[in-house]
A and B are shown apart, each in its own frame.
Chain A
Amino acid sequence: MVAMCTADSTDRPVIRPMLMASDDAGAVVSLMPEGALLLAGDAIAIDVFVGPGARLELVEPAGTVAYPMEGGRASWEVTITLAPAATLVWAGEPFVVAEGASVDRSTRIGLGVGAALALRETVVLGRHGERPGMLRQSLDVTGPNGVPLLKEELDVGPTSSRLLLGGARALGSVLVLGHRLAAGVGDGSGTRLELEGAGTLVRHLASDAHPATSAAVWAAARRAVS
């Protein structure tokens, strides 16, 4: 496993991977920011590689806030590579794009044969009482031999159509790849999207971060890849 995180300039804080636990079943690593993130000019790159048959769990001690950037912008790029039969469980905390922030957030995932992923994300547009910041988000998932499994781009900002997110301020998602979520999970509370390949995406559009994250769906996602 490697997780490497850097900011653009040397005087900006980095995100440091800290090993929390490790045994035969796998490792738990916490992604610890060493200072205030995310400011204009920050370019975060998080590379995660899980080796053949290995299991990694990533946790975050707190959410991330992209602060107002006064015309500047910041980027947050995640690259996940899962070797054959590798498993990654990543319980992301809310990512808040404050009014006046402008963030490019990209996630690229490559799965080897038999690899599995459970990924939780919550994006919140604006702090309480604020208008949304600008977010350009992309998700690009490929399976063995580079076959595309899921590709999605989302551009949201203060002038976006209300119909894009139905007026929601928070978009929560739980993505399971390599397996499908058990029948019935996510029905009723959120939107369950059954991918063409092996995978399920459950989304919650909500007014706030808390209702956008479903503990039951996340628990089912963890079970699906265990």
Chain B
Amino acid sequence: MTPTLPADLVLMLLADARLPTAGHTQSAGLEPAVTHGLQSAEVADYIALRLRTVTRVEAATAVVALHHVRQGLPLDDVETAWAARTPSAALRATSRSMARAMLRVVRRLWPDDPSVRALAPGVSRAVVLAAVADACGLAPVALARLVGYDDVQTVASAALKLLPLDPADVSAWVLDALPLVDRLALEVAPLTLPGSIPASGAPQIEAWAESHAATTRRLFSA
């Protein structure tokens, strides 16, 4: 733990796209969505849909994993629950590859933290984020906000590379999404059991993710 650091400063660090965790390789599924016809006017709707579905699953998984880390419970059950709620192999692979990139950084930042050291290779991003949250003393609701916020900003920054948009307009969409992020965080923050993780699927997002994994014509890895 690094209890002397204020939580909001740690959150800024973790949410900062300049943290070298390969965030620039990600579009949160926006690239295949645009390839399949998603219009600029639909980006805000896309952000909101993710917060209700796949990102909700990830945020809840992170919160439940944090509880398991803090209680000394095994993380395997959390990982299995997440995998059962993530039927797309492409989305699971993306999460685990992002987890690897994040793990490399956090092992450098918190080399002595027992939660970080205990992470098994190949875990999902939500589980790595939970260990980081434990290392930094973050509350569950802050961790859930981080997951939601990061997803919104990932879509937003990718949107500027994929679509002819005014960056100020995109920032306004991010601001508009913040209440949704907060609602999501407050909803999932009390969760402790793997079985209680919501399983809200998004069939079209999953279909786009699978088709993107099979193409080489792309700017973003996912």
Chain A residues in the interface with B (C-beta under 8 A): 138, 140-141, 147-155, 161-166, 168, 171, 191-197, 201, 203, 205
Taking CB atoms, residues of chain B closer than 8 Å to A196 are 80, 83-84, 86, 89, 92
Q: Are B80 and A163 in contact (CB under 8 A)?
A: no
Q: Does residue B201 face the partner (Cβ distance < 8 Å to A)? A: yes
A191-B205 CB under 8 A given contacts A152-B87, A153-B199, A161-B45: no
Q: Does residue B46 face the partner (Cβ distance < 8 Å to A)? A: yes
Q: From residue B165, how far is it (CB to closest CB) to chain A in Å?
A: 17
Chain B residues in the interface with A (C-beta under 8 A): 33, 36, 38, 42, 45-46, 48-49, 53, 80-81, 83-89, 92, 194-195, 198-207, 210-211
Instruction: Give the most central of A150, A168, A193: most B CB within 10 Å.
Output: A193
Q: Are B203 and A163 in contact (CB under 8 A)?
A: no
Given known contacts A138-B199, A153-B198, what 13 new A-B pairs fall within 8 Å (CB)? A140-B199, A147-B80, A149-B84, A151-B84, A151-B199, A152-B199, A153-B201, A154-B203, A162-B42, A163-B45, A193-B210, A195-B89, A205-B207
Cα(A152)–Cα(B83), bound, Å = 11
Q: Are B204 and A195 in contact (CB under 8 A)?
A: no
Would you give 15 A-B contacts (Cβ < 8 Å), ordered by A?
Answer: A149-B84, A150-B87, A152-B87, A153-B201, A163-B33, A163-B38, A163-B205, A164-B49, A164-B53, A166-B36, A166-B203, A193-B210, A196-B92, A197-B83, A197-B84
**Cβ-closest chain A residue relative to B92:** A196
Q: Are B84 and A164 in contact (CB under 8 A)?
A: no
Which label, helix, strand, loop or mixed, suits the secondary structure of the B interface?
helix
A166-B204 CB under 8 A given contacts A148-B80, A153-B198, A161-B48: yes
Q: From residue B206, how far is it (CB to closest CB) to chain A in Å?
A: 7
Taking CB atoms, residues of chain B closer than 8 Å to A166 are 36, 203-204, 207
Taking CB atoms, residues of chain B closer than 8 Å to A138 are 199
Q: From residue A110, how far is it (CB to closest CB) to chain B in Å?
A: 13
**Cβ-closest chain A residue relative to B88:** A193
Taking CB atoms, residues of chain B closer than 8 Å to A140 are 199
Cα(A138)–Cα(B200), bound, Å = 9
- How many residue pairs, one in A and one in B, have C-beta atoms under 8 Å apart? 86
Q: Which of B49, B85, B92, B204 contacts A205 (CB 8 A)?
A: B204
Q: Are A201 and B87 in contact (CB under 8 A)?
A: yes
Cα(A171)–Cα(B201), bound, Å = 13
Cα(A163)–Cα(B84), bound, Å = 22
**Cβ-closest chain A residue relative to B52:** A161
A164-B202 CB under 8 A given contacts A148-B81, A192-B210, A196-B84: yes
**Cβ-closest chain A residue relative to B42:** A163
Cα(A147)–Cα(B76), bound, Å = 11
A191-B207 CB under 8 A given contacts A152-B199, A163-B38: yes
Taking CB atoms, residues of chain B closer than 8 Å to A152 are 85, 87, 199, 201
Q: From residue A101, how far is it (CB to closest CB) to chain B in Å?
A: 20
Q: Are B204 and A163 in contact (CB under 8 A)?
A: yes
Q: Are A165 and B203 in contact (CB under 8 A)?
A: yes
Cα(A163)–Cα(B51), bound, Å = 13
Taking CB atoms, residues of chain A closer than 8 Å to B210 are 191-193
Taking CB atoms, residues of chain B closer than 8 Å to A192 are 210
Q: Which of B92, B200, B203 contacts A171 (CB 8 A)?
A: B203
Q: Which of B45, B85, B87, B202 contacts A193 (CB 8 A)?
A: B87
Instruction: Give the most central of B33, B46, B49, B203: most A CB within 10 Å.
Output: B203
Q: Which of A151, A154, A162, A165 contacts B85 (CB 8 A)?
A: A151
Cα(A163)–Cα(B204), bound, Å = 7
Taking CB atoms, residues of chain A closer than 8 Å to B198 are 153
